Amino acid sequence: MSMPRAVRHINEMRVLDVVFRLGSASRASIARELDLTRSTAGNIVASLATEGLIIEDSAGDDKSAGTGRPGTLVRLNPTHALFLGAEIAVGRISVVALDFSGNIVSERHFPLQALPGDVTTALDQLAGNVREICRPLESTHPLKGLCVTLPGVIDNAGRVLRAPFLGWHDVPIIDHLRDRLPEMPTIVAENDAKAFAIADGYKSDALAPDTEIHVFLDAGVGGAIMASGRLLRGHDGYAGEFGHMILGEEGFAKVATLAGSFESFIGRDAIMARHRHYGGDARTIEDFIEEASRGTAAAAAATADWSFYLGRGLAIISSIFNPSRIVLGGPVAPLFQLCRDDVFARIRSNLFGDQPIPEIVLSPLGLEGPALGGAMQMHRTMFAVDEALVFKSNSPPRTHRP
C-alpha cells in the first residue's frame, strides 16, 4: 500500500471508531476529535458513506459545530453487517447477534442437550441455534462471522486443549464448525472469561485502566488480564487461568480440574456443596443467593467460607498484578454484594499493610456476557487497521482471534 493510501486507510478506521464511540457525529466534530481538517474528514466520511458503512443521522443536527449552519450528523449503518457470538456453557448455549452499530439485534438462550464429553451433539445443536438466530436477519444484514466461547483453554490456533467442565479434550472446534456452518465467512474461538472481559469495557468512553483483572465465576473460575484496554493472552494463550491457582489441599467440591484449586473453593459447584454441608438444600445458585440474602443459617455459613477463599485468591492476584480494579462477573458474582466487607477484610489480611487494595466491582452483564463478548470481538475486526496492508507484511493473515 502506498503511503497516501496507508494514511487514508488508518484515518478511515479512526473515523469509524469515533462514530462508533460517539453514536453519531458531525464532520466538524470528527475533524476536532482526530485533529483533521474539515475537508479531510468530509472526504473520508463521503468515502465511507459510498461503501455503505456510514449513513446520515436524521435524529438531529450538531449544534456544537460553531457559527453558521448546524453540521449534519452521521452514524454507522446498522444493516451493513451482522456479527455473532455463541457461548457453550455448562447446561446452556447462548447466542447474541450484533449489528454494525454494535447494538444487540437478537439474543437467545437454549438448554444444552449434550451430555458431558459429547462434542458432536453440542456442536450440532450450536449450529442449529446459530441458524435459527440468523434466519430472520440474513436478508437485511450481511453476515460477517461467528466467535464461539466456552469455559476452557483454547490455543492460538483455535483448538480447545481442554474444557473440563464440558468434558472436552483436544477438540479442533473451528474445523468442526466450518463443516457444520460452511456459509459462515469467519469462525473463531475464545475462552468465555476473556470474551466476558471484552464485552465489559468494549463501548466505554472511559480511559481504560493500566491494569484491570476480570474474574468470571460460574461452574469454574476463569479470568482475563487487561492492560490499557488490551487483552494479555500469554505465550500460549493460557494467561488468566486464575481458577487453577492452588489455595489448599482439597476444596469444597471435587471439580473437573485441580484439587485444592481456587475454583474448587469458590465456583458454583463448590458453593452449592458447601451449602449442603451445612444442611442447606438450594437447587440452583440463584436459589442459594436468595437464601443468603435472607440470612438463613446454612447459607450464611457457606457464604462466610466462600468469602474467606475469594478474598485469599484476590489477594494473590493483587500481589502479582497490582491491578487498579478487579471486575467480578458470572452467575456466582452477585454473592459478593452480600459479603463485601468480609472479602475486603480477608484481602487485607493477606497483603502487606502498605499495599493498596484494588477497587472491586460487579460487572453489569448477565448471562449474555461471554456470547456478547464473542460478537464484539468479531465486530472489533471491522475497526482494526490492516497491518499487512499498511506495513506491506508478507505474513499470512491471522485466522484465529483478533
The C-alpha atoms of residue 144 and residue 368 are separated, in whole angstroms, by: 20
Fold of 80-197+369-390: Nucleotidyltransferase; domain 5 (3.30.420)
* pLDDT score recorded for residue 381: 86
3-class DSSP state of 79? helix
- Crossing angle of helices 268-277 and 285-294, in 10° steps, is 50
3-class DSSP state of 216? strand
3-class DSSP state of 348? helix
The C-alpha atoms of residue 341 and residue 347 are separated, in whole angstroms, by: 10
What is the domain partition of the chain in residue ranges?
A: 3-76, 80-197+369-390, 209-362
What are residue 391's phi and psi, to 5 degrees?
-100, 5
Q: Which DSSP letter does residue 111 get?
A: E
| Low-confidence residues in the chain, pLDDT < 50 | 1, 68, 394-402
**Does 209-362 carry CATH code 3.10.620.30?**
no
Pairing of strands 25-26, 82-89: unpaired
* pLDDT score recorded for residue 196: 94
* pLDDT score recorded for residue 257: 76
* pLDDT score recorded for residue 392: 62
* pLDDT score recorded for residue 296: 96
3-class DSSP state of 373? helix
Q: What is the pTM of this model?
A: 0.85
* pLDDT score recorded for residue 383: 82
- How many Å is the Cα radius of gyration of the chain? 23
- Closest residue by Cα to residue 112 from 165, 160, 161, 155: 165
Instruction: State the distance between the two ends of the chain, measured CA to CA, in whole angstroms.
Output: 21
Return the C-alpha cell found at 313.
485468591
* pLDDT score recorded for residue 182: 96
The C-alpha atoms of residue 76 and residue 343 are separated, in whole angstroms, by: 43
- Closest residue by Cα to residue 85 from 102, 69, 68: 102
Q: Do domains 3-76 and 80-197+369-390 have the same CATH topology?
A: no
* pLDDT score recorded for residue 206: 61
Which CATH number applies to 3-76?
1.10.10.10
* pLDDT score recorded for residue 384: 79
* pLDDT score recorded for residue 400: 37
